[in-house]
Structures are given as structure tokens and as C-alpha cells.
A and B are shown apart, each in its own frame.
Chain A
Amino acid sequence: MIANVRIKRSSGFAAYQVECDDDTTVAMLLDNINMNETDPIEWECSCRQNMCGSCAMVINKIPALACASFVRDLGTDIQLEPLSKFPLIKDLKVDRSSIHRMLERLESYHNGDGDADFREHERQYLSASCLMCGLCMEVCPNYTGKNDFGSALAANAMYKTVSQEPDSGRARRLSKTYRKTQFSKCSNSLSCTDVCPLNLPQASTISRINRKMLKRLFR
């Protein structure tokens, strides 16, 4: 069958017709188009198996990874747009380096030299699995990029940092930062859980970090 692919390029929308079947992914469609395109479509691609978060884009109005979006679910009319909440580089490629800079400002990095907290092990594993693709930021009604509220991505990262921090002074300081920048800004729409490519339990991580951080504040 033929997919009708409409792509929002830097130069405006462009339409392509591409041979496909049910198992064809959006990543494969883009490869196909680029093989014959004199002006190749710019997009990020690395692992092609839902494990690196490179190919995040907006597919039929929903933020998703191109390598894990199939024609069988999308139908043959497919519209691709770049993520809207990050600066556009070209076509479908955006600059997500703001994610690292935000985590740096939030001091969400490993500082201590103690063993990880055991009871939190399973959740730490999941939070370290985060692809940092930015889909949760794209869909979040509260993420604007204008302040340090970082949607589920930031909550995930800060949860891991605080739960692994042996220095209670630093943990308390981070908890305050969390309360100021994240907790008070999340309106619990939980749209982040719907788009996460790994189905990470964002809602329960957010409630876990809320409980943990608030407890710390009063300790």
C-alpha cells in the first residue's frame, strides 16, 4: 500500500507518497524518502529500536518516536512535524540541548559517594531508563521552556538524584529546589504518561518524589 506522508519542512509542508506495509515505521518512511530526495529531510536517528530517543517528533499531532510508530496504528495518512517546544534546527530536527542545561541548573547530578538506597532500587532503575527524548515536555501543558519546570523528565531525574544522595544537607536543598520549580508547577494532567515511549510510571514517580521531598523538608 501507499502512505501519504505530509512533512512540515523548514520550507513549508511537503507531500510524499511512499510504498509501505503494516510493519513499516515512520523511520523507514523517512529513510525511503531520503534515498530519492535531492534535498534530504533533516531528522535525528540513531538506534532505530525505541532505546535512544533520537527520533522524537510530532506524528499525526501526537508526540512519538518515529522508530516505534507503525503504519498499522497510524493509517496511511501521516503528518510529521518537529517538536514545537525546542528550537528548530531544520525540518524535523530540533535542538534539545536545553534539557542538559536545565538539569545542570537544577543540580540534578550525582554528587555523593555512597551506595544507592536499596528500597528505592527498582524505581531508580526505571528513572535511569528515561530516554531524555523530550516527548513528555512536548505534550505537557505546563512546560514552556521559559523556566526550570521540566515535566516528567525533570521529576524523574531529580527523584533519582535525591534518592541516591547520602548528604542530607544537599538532599534537603534539592528538595527545596524541587518544590519551587517542579511540584508547584505540575497540574497533574498526566499527559506525560500517555506519550512516554517506555511507559515509565510517571504518575507514581511524581507522587513518590512529592512525598519523599515534602517529608525531607520537614525533617
Chain B
Amino acid sequence: MEILITGCGLAGLSAAITAAENGDRVKIISPYPPERSQSVLASGGTNAALNTKGEDDSWEQHAADTIKAGCCLADETAVQQMAESAPSLIRELAGRGIVFSRDENGDPDLRYFGGQKKKRTVFSKAGIGKQLVSGLSSILLKYIAEGKVELLTNVKFVKPILADGKYAGIITENTATGELQYLQSDVLITATGGIGGLFGNTTGSRTSDGAVTASLFRAGAEMANLEMIQYHPTTIATAQKRMLISEAARGEGGRLFTMKDGQRWYFMEDWYGERGNLMPRDVVSQCIYKVCNDLCLGIDGKQQVGLDLTHLDEYTVHDKLKEITDTTKLYLDLDPLTDVIPVYPGIHYFMGGIYVDRFHRTTIPGILAAGECACIYHGANRLGGNSTLGAIYGGRIAAQSAAEEREFCSLNAEEKKSAEELARLEIGDLMRSSEESAASAESEPAAKIMADIQTIMNGSLGIVRNGVQLAEGLTALKAMKSRSLRFDRYHLSEDSAVSDFIELGAAMLESAIFRKESRGAQMRSDYPETDDANFRKTVCASYKNGEIAIRADEIGRLLR
């Protein structure tokens, strides 16, 4: 069978390799090759209960920690299957050329990470993502050379074509020539990352914008737990963007503090004991928020606390945490071995996204989703070390589900014909919109409108939210629909994404409004308690006939 994959970060690479090994024909489309993907920024490590440190670890504990940190919103069966597969997955990758840091016995070494009491995080200094992408690309290249996989770079997903609600292909844009094309396959796997485009200044990559998610939402794919946005506790403000300081810094012994009465106050240790610095990310971020805002104790009166690594030895800071040192030296002119790093939480990861079940099936028959774009393993808060695992494992499961998925979206001759006709009309519409808007004088470029959308989203969906702010954000966002967009013939996909982003952003705000409780990353000052009876549920957003609808769904529901 033929599988089309959009996106070539870890999830896309993993899906492509699995599919090629299953004997499927694979086509990957992406504007960029794998080395430009956001996956290369993953820093700290990948969780797997290898149990090589004499701590009596097990995959069951890994699963339990994941569910607990996610505040019981993740599909327990899916999480257990992932945790159980993790040790063999890591050993397999270590044998296929991925360079993990090793311990004295030659096993992949393990470090402490947030929300887990055992050493369970496999790492490659502080550059796990790059090593994984590099290694998986190298495996993929073999299948490309053997003709099993075709990697089409400079090709961008624009929108899906559906026939009777089933997947029937996609429209793509060639980012070099601007050419629009209709591509077909038996199934589609989307592996296009989080929804950073709605926020702009995240720790992620600009290309990982979420446009494909937004487009699928408009086409009818349901979204899950969109309000669950992870603020990573330790990011640095640079002139260019907020950059991640990996949790590995605290895993290796880094301590958070602020100044109180002229003395250092290690607030996390004070509030949560010795291992306070390694509480789950939602907890640490909310504590830093409290220190800087409620207690007004940010260092130098600013929104920042200190991350201290200066008591660690040089090997740890400069070698085991190499990539952190590289970043702070280049962008802050600061060496963590001698200077404290000023940090504050920043948007880092989207636990929510395309609604999938444990087979990675979306609500549209024929379309599967994996990696950060899909909502499945992380519930209300993701554990550090589970994103790279979720991407590689999820990509694999999606590829394995493809054969069965094909049965749900087979098209008869008439449906095929109508899909082709629809694709032709859609391409015509896109071309026309660029010609019409060129004539209008007041029209604005997409970048400008997106910047205003990002201001609204950042203002409404902070670490702490409330109903009034969210409702105001929603009104402001809806008003963006009246802005006149200038279509540019060579950026039709980016331009057509703007209206999709407005709808997805509105769905995100409505999801946050709907969840009238505090849980994990959703901290509502007007609803500070957790409400299991009403909200230990998947908050599901759907789009139909121009209207967004939000409902609560049972966790772990199968979609076919």
C-alpha cells in the first residue's frame, strides 16, 4: 500500500522507517529536510525504564509516573503500551547507530528527570533530539537509496481533500515554484508538530507552526485538550526568542532560587523538599509564576528567578550539558559554570492537538497522526523525556495501524472522481484568491496578521488564566476575521493558513473556557479546584458549518 507522510521530524521519520520495513511504499513531504525540524531541539533525553542503576525500576512505574504527571487525562492503555515498549526501543536504536551517552558498562546512561524518582532518562549529553534525528535520517537514507521511500522536500501540505468524510488525498504547494498539486495515497500520516504558530515566541522552531493541524481542524478533524499548553519552567529571554534550558540542568543537580531578604531562597526545595527542583513542569512553572507575581520576588524585580549550576563540576556543565552551555555562551554571553542563568517559564509543548486514539487514528477515516501534533500520551502535563519517546513510538504505531486504516477509507470510482473534481476546484479557488487580493490596497501580509493573533493568544493563555480574560481574547480573535489578507502567489499555503489559525485559536480559547477547573497546565484562577466528576475527560473541539462545538468525551475512546 502507499502511505503519504507529512512532516519529517522524529515522528515522521519513525513512521516512514516502520512503513518501509513493513513493505509499504512511502512518500514523505516536507518543506525542509529532517535536520531542520523542531525535533533537533529536544535536549534532555528519552525515558525508558532500563533499570540499569539498581533502583528497581520498571515500565509499570514509568507508566504510572506519566499518568500521574498528566493528572489522569491520558489514555492509560496507550501510556502503558508506550512505557512497556520503551526499553526495547532504546536498545534497538542504540544498535542502529544512535549515539547515546554510555555508562561504565556500555549501557545507555540514565539521568534524573522531572516528575520521576528513578534514573530513567537516556541522554546524549544535552542534545538528544539532534542525535535521534541524525541517526534516524541515516537509517531512512538507506530506504531512500533502495527506492522504498521517496522524500520530497520543498513540498508543503495545504489542505486535505475528503470524499464523503473520508481521506481522499491532499493539495500540496511546491515551496520553490509555487505550483499546487493534488497528491493521493491510501492513507495519510500527519506528523507536523505542535501549534507554535499561534504563539510565536516559543522555545520551538518557526517551521513547526501547526498549520496542518489548523487545516485539518477546518476540514473536520476533531481536536482534544487544546487548552493544555506546557510552559517549560526554565527558558531564557534572548533578543531573538525564548530558548530552552533543558530540565537536564536540574536533573544533573541545578537548583532554582530567588533572593529574599538579601539571601538566596531555594523556594522549590523549601516547598517540596530535597527533590523539589525536579517536580513536574506544571508545578515548577506555577511556582516560579507565584514567586515572581504573587510574592513579587523576581530577581532584580524582573520576571525571572535564578538557575544555579555553579556548584557542579566542569565535566558535568561543559560536557554532559554541552548544548546548554553552547546556547547560554552564544546568546547570553554567560558560562553556567561560573554564572547563574536567569530563567522564567515559556511556552514549550502542546499536550493537546489532533484527537487520536491509541492506534493513532484521527476522527477522519484514512488520516493518522503522530508526534506532538497528536493528543494522546501526555494528558494535562507532559513529563520531560516523554516527547521524543512519544514521537518515535507514536510514529511506529501510526505506521502499523495504516494497513487496517485503509479499509476505513476505500473510495469507489464515483468518490474518486468527485475528489479529483473537488481538488481541481480548490486549486482554482486558491489561485483566484491570490489574484483578487493583489488588487486590494488595504490588504495586509500574513506575517502582520499572525503577529496580532499571537499577541491575543499569549495574553489569554498564560500560566494562570481566568474566564474573563479568555472571553476577551475570544472576542478579539474573532474580530481578526475582518482583516483583509494579502495573498501572495508564492505563499498561498501560509496565507490560506491564517483563517484556519483563527478558528483553531478560537477553539483553543473555547476549550480553556469550557474546562472550568484547574488541572495540570490549565490553571484557572476562577476555578482553582480539580473537578474529577465533570472534567476528568477529554475536552473535544469540533468544527462544522463554520461553528465550533466543545464537549467532554470519555478518556481513551476508540475512534473506529
Contacts and interface: CB of A to CB of B under 8 A. Distances in A.
Interface of A: 21, 23-25, 27-28, 34-35, 37-38, 40, 42, 44-54, 67-68, 89-90, 95-97, 99-100, 103-104, 107-116, 118, 121, 124-125, 128-132, 160-161, 164, 198
Contacts of A100: 33, 141, 144, 151, 153
A160 B96 CA distance: 12
Interface in B379-412: none
Interface residues of B, number: 56
A34 B96 CA distance: 43
Nearest to A104: B145
A68 B486 CA distance: 31
A125 B35 contact: no
B33 A116 contact: no
**SS of A interface (majority):** loop
A177 to B, nearest CB: 13
Contact of A50 (B206, B239, B330, B451): B330
Contacts of B208: 46
* Max chain B Cβ within 10 angstroms of own Cβ: one of A24, A27, A46, A125: A46
A53 B35 CA distance: 8
Contact of B99 (A97, A109, A121, A132): A121
A108 B139 CA distance: 10
Contacts of B35: 52-53, 131-132
Nearest to B125: A125
A94 B554 CA distance: 48
Contacts of A37: 445
B210 interface: no
A129 B134 contact: yes
A97 B488 contact: no
7 closest pairs, A vs B, by CB? A109-B141, A128-B134, A110-B97, A110-B138, A23-B239, A109-B142, A46-B205
B218 interface: no
A25 B240 contact: yes
B54 interface: no
A45 B206 contact: yes
B239 A24 contact: yes
Contacts of B37: 46, 52
Given A116-B94, A132-B35, A40 B142 contact: no
B36 A48 contact: no
A118 B138 contact: no
Contacts of B207: 45-46, 54
